[in-house]
Amino acid sequence: MSAADEDGFLLRPFKLIALLCAFIALALDVAALLSPAWVTSESYSRSLWVSCIQARDGVWECSSTLQTDWQIAALVLILTAATITLLSFLLSLTSFCLGIYKRYYRVVAILLFAAVVLHVCALILYPIKFIDSSMLMSYHEFNWGYGLGWGSAVFMLGAAILYCLRTDLYEDAYY
């Protein structure tokens, strides 16, 4: 018989794993926002902030990408999702540290689901509008910055699902 069986308490670390997933989602989101490579080609690089083209003499010329409405919309959606993720991470960390487990987890799950929806909308909008408005005549690919955005969305979704699990039904019977 283990110590958990003797005390009548079985530790299920779903909320701790969800907190870790929210933190990883936040870190990936920040890395995606700061990434210089969302779309690249042989002589072209675009992030959420700047677009750089390599001239014939090998010098890179950069300009702001915040000139069209779809680029601003994608950036605002990702920044809003990152802000919501930060808020939900802080709320869940506070409730976890204070020991008030059941009070705020439903709110955190709803916030994370909203962040996932915003993030996925931005990640779908970006390639569609980029390809629609692209003047590139060369091969281009969506690079690691875009992939970090999808990784962030996956971890946000995982955290939201883990916060929805009702482990309190099993733990209350032992008190």
pLDDT tens digits, residue range 1-60? 454 445 444 556 888 898 999 999 999 999 999 988 888 888 788 888 888 888 878 788
> Is 51 part of a structural domain of the chain?
no
pLDDT tens digits, residue range 145-167? 999 999 999 999 999 999 888 76
> Is 109 part of a structural domain of the chain?
yes
Closest CA to 28 of 150, 163, 120, 159: 150
Q: Phi, psi at residue 69, to the nearest 5°?
A: -65, -35
> Is 62 part of a structural domain of the chain?
no
Instruction: Specify the CATH number for the domain of residue 129.
Output: 1.20.140.150
Range of the domain at 17: 13-39+68-163
> Is 84 part of a structural domain of the chain?
yes
> Is 63 part of a structural domain of the chain?
no
Name the domain count of the chain.
1
